[in-house]
Amino acid sequence: MEKTPIKLPKLTDFELLLCNEYMANGCNQSNALRTCRPSTQKWSNAAVWGRASEMFSKPQVKAYIAELKERAKEIADAKLDISIERVLREFARVAFSDIRTIFTKDGQLVSPTSMDVDTAAAVGSIEVVTSSHMGADGVAEIEYTHKIKLNDKLRALENLGKYLKIYEAQEEKGPQDGYQYKGARLPAWMEEMIPSGKE
């Protein structure tokens, strides 16, 4: 038997204003109340917090905020191309990065504008330190030292491991396919990013 949907009370104009302000200010209930009701500026922080909590605990307010957050997520996902696959791909670029790819065959640093997408994603920052010294001919020479910091490879691996449930995996032996793990399988595109170790 299907349950009859609960009909929520209609939002008042003030509740509507409060919800919109809450979303606009980064989801701070107390600040939203202070902005929408100036008289609360004279209230103590505890009083404002208590009243704000009361207002935002109303079913119709909670439902409308959930709707606003869902709309905001849809807009952000569409505008920024946010997806699970993209996040995993960025983690994979860092986790499976190879420091050798930032250098040319003769040991020179590859220009950032010439790095491929995977390599560029793994590099956190490049700092150029300039120093000068007198050359043998008495002419000042400028020397450039590049300090390269890669993004946290271990942390990226840990996050991928959590997603793939590697740490929860238990080895099992099946009747036909031998040993398998209960964790999620690596996507084909991720397997291609793992260095094989072959020269």
Residue reference for tokens 């609360």:
40
Angstrom distances, CA of residue 70 to CA of 56, 62, 64, 74, 168: 17, 12, 10, 6, 31
Listed in order, the ranges of the chain carrying CATH 1.10.10 are 13-80
pLDDT at 196: 57
Residue 69 CB neighbour total at 10 angstroms: 12
Give the burial class of 33: count Cβ atoms within 10 A of its Cβ; 0-12 exposed, 13-18 middle, 19 or more buried: buried
Residues 6+ apart with CB under 8 A from 186: 164, 194
Angstrom distances, CA of residue 107 to CA of 115, 146, 188: 15, 13, 32
Chain length of the chain: 199
pLDDT at 130: 82
Residue 4 phi/psi, 5-degree rounding, is -75, 125
Which CATH code, of 1.10.3470, 3.30.230, 1.10.10, 3.30.1370, is assigned to 13-80? 1.10.10
- The answer to whether residues 11 and 64 touch, using CB atoms and an 8 Å cutoff, is yes
Residue among 190, 197, 119 at smallest CA distance from 157 = 190
pLDDT at 112: 84
- b (16+ CB within 10 A) / e for 72-92: eeeeeeeeeeeeeeeebbebb
pLDDT at 192: 65
Question: What is this structure's pTM?
Answer: 0.45
Stretches where the chain sits below pLDDT 50 are 1, 170-181, 197, 199
